[in-house]
Structure 1
Amino acid sequence: MTRPLSTEGWQRAVLLLTGAHILIIAASNYLVQLPIQILGVHTTWGAFSFPFIFLVTDLTVRVLGKQAGRRTVLLAMLPALALSYIFGAAFQQGEYQGLEGLVGLNVFVARIAMASFMAYVLGQLMDIHVFDRLRRRQRHWWVAPAFSTVLGNLVDTAAFFALAFHAGPDPFMAAHWVEIATVDYVTKLAVSMAVFVPLYGLVLAMLQRWILGDGLGAGLSKG
């Protein structure tokens, strides 16, 4: 059983988590503009930053509940959209554009921001739904974060790259977005399974000791 937080504590936690979501989304939308090659295949730096958001979401649902997860998404999505556009326009493709970058509408950056908005909402709601159902049915702590991350990342990645780069103004990304999206998804899964799922278990145990008072073994066994 979890120890209930006060209303003030719950709201403070949701606002803190909302801020984390906004920062991760804005950073990832900038990093996705920077393609790299790994073992001869194309991906982006965003593949290494965005899995953080699934870690934050799953911990939110586990500790504060499904309602807190959904509220975090609702609070974060519009500020994240605005910040993604501002940051992306000012530092397009890794180069500082100055204030001139914010004058007028940057179609390339606006498309990325809108694609991120749609993909974020779809991916996070999928992640929350799957995670909440599995954590209630499975005794093993790793099942819910692992499977929700697989499905949430799939929905998010497919929606984002199709909306952002298919027949878009960037010739390279328009030509390679399917390859990049596939590698991006595989990279996210590899990073998530190797780093973020184990990290989820460690952070969950710490939070349970600090906030919930369940103890390490009991908390992890409950998922």
Structure 2
Amino acid sequence: MRRYLPGIIAMAAIVVASNILVQFLFGQWLTWGAFTYPLAFLVTDLTNRFHGAAAARRVVFAGFLTGVACSLIGTQIMGISGPIVTLRVALASGTAFLTAQMLDVAIFAALRRRSWWQAPLVSTLLGSMVDTVLFFTIAFSARLAMIDPGADIAWANEVLPLLGLGPALPLWVSLALADWMVKLALALLALVPFRMIVARFGRHLRTA
């Protein structure tokens, strides 16, 4: 347990930071949380590389529990139109995080013996795509309004050009696409610290 405690601490810090920063807009389509949350995949992949899939799942579960705690706190903080975290957002966040991260762990484990970049890149790309689809669909799709009938999602379903340029679609689709594009870019950039950390601490690498 002590060996992967740094991963648990890092994951918890990323989840807390992302839950705070998601309240602050970055441009028209993103929040600052979009730039911190993808680092969770880097933490998961490094834990998987050094300590194996079982340890990575424990780190993911620690992050999940941290996210649940953040959501519970958020439901008690009132904003202008109600709690800053609605039931739908809390459910979407927890479902997306746990599903995407566990998928990341499984894909990484399956590819871990291939070229060094394949496991972290493929697992992160697929995991982040699932994360984005699940979160934005559960949180904002009008078709799932029955999850939390009292939640105000009208703003997210306003029909606008996709990212201001494309076909007319609900706003949440533009938000989801912008979010995934950031995750895609960070998945590529994260290969640099992943490679450097693995090279630096390679003697501790678990190959089982």
Give the shorter-chain TM-score range.
Answer: 0.7 to 0.9
Which of residues 33, 41, 53 in structure 2 aligns to 1:66?
53
Query: Does residue 197 of structure 1 match 2:191?
Result: yes
In structure 1, runs of 5+ residues without a counterpart are: 1-10, 94-104, 215-221
Residue number in structure 2 paired with 1:208:
202
Residue number in structure 2 paired with 1:178:
173
2: distance between equivalents of 1:88 and 1:207? 41
The structure-2 alpha-carbon separation of the partners of 1:34 and 1:91, relative to structure 1 and needing over 3 Å to count, comes to farther
**Which sits farther off after the overlay, 59-68 or 170-179?**
170-179
| Partners of 1:51 and 1:196 within 8 A in 2 | no
Q: Please report how far the alpha carbon of residue 80 of structure 1 lies from its aligned counterpart in structure 2 after TM superposition.
A: 2.2
2: distance between equivalents of 1:107 and 1:35? 14
2: distance between equivalents of 1:28 and 1:68? 23
Q: Match for 2:173: what amino acid?
A: V
2: distance between equivalents of 1:75 and 1:179? 30
Q: Match for 2:92: what amino acid?
A: A
Q: TM-score, normalised by structure 1?
A: 0.73
| Partners of 2:74 and 2:83 within 8 A in 1 | no
1: distance between equivalents of 2:61 and 2:183? 24
Q: Percent identity?
A: 38
Give the number of aligned pairs. Answer: 186
Query: Does residue 133 of structure 1 match 2:115?
Result: no
If each structure's helix is expressed as a fraction of its own residues, which one has the higher value?
1
In structure 2, runs of 5+ residues without a counterpart are: 143-150, 159-170
Q: Pairwise CA RMSD of aligned residues?
A: 2.6
Q: How does 1:1-223 map to 2 (within 5 A)?
A: 11-37=1-27, 42-86=29-73, 90=77, 106=83, 108-136=85-113, 138=114, 140-167=115-142, 168-175=151-158, 176-193=171-188, 195-209=189-203, 211-212=204-205
2: distance between equivalents of 1:174 and 1:16? 40
Residue number in structure 1 paired with 2:166:
none
2: distance between equivalents of 1:45 and 1:65? 31
| Partners of 1:108 and 1:169 within 8 A in 2 | no
1: distance between equivalents of 2:15 and 2:84? 19
Instruction: List per-residue Cα deviations over 1:68-119 (Å, max 9, x = no partner).
Output: 01122223322321124425754969xxxxxxxxxxx837444322211110
| Partners of 2:95 and 2:134 within 8 A in 1 | yes
| Partners of 1:26 and 1:84 within 8 A in 2 | no
1: distance between equivalents of 2:14 and 2:78? 16
| Partners of 1:146 and 1:197 within 8 A in 2 | yes
Q: What's the secondary structure of 1:13's corresponding residue?
A: coil
Q: What's the secondary structure of 1:146's corresponding residue?
A: helix
| Partners of 1:115 and 1:160 within 8 A in 2 | yes
The structure-2 alpha-carbon separation of the partners of 1:29 and 1:173, relative to structure 1 and needing over 3 Å to count, comes to farther
Q: Match for 2:29: what amino acid?
A: H
2: distance between equivalents of 1:151 and 1:54? 11
1: distance between equivalents of 2:23 and 2:180? 16
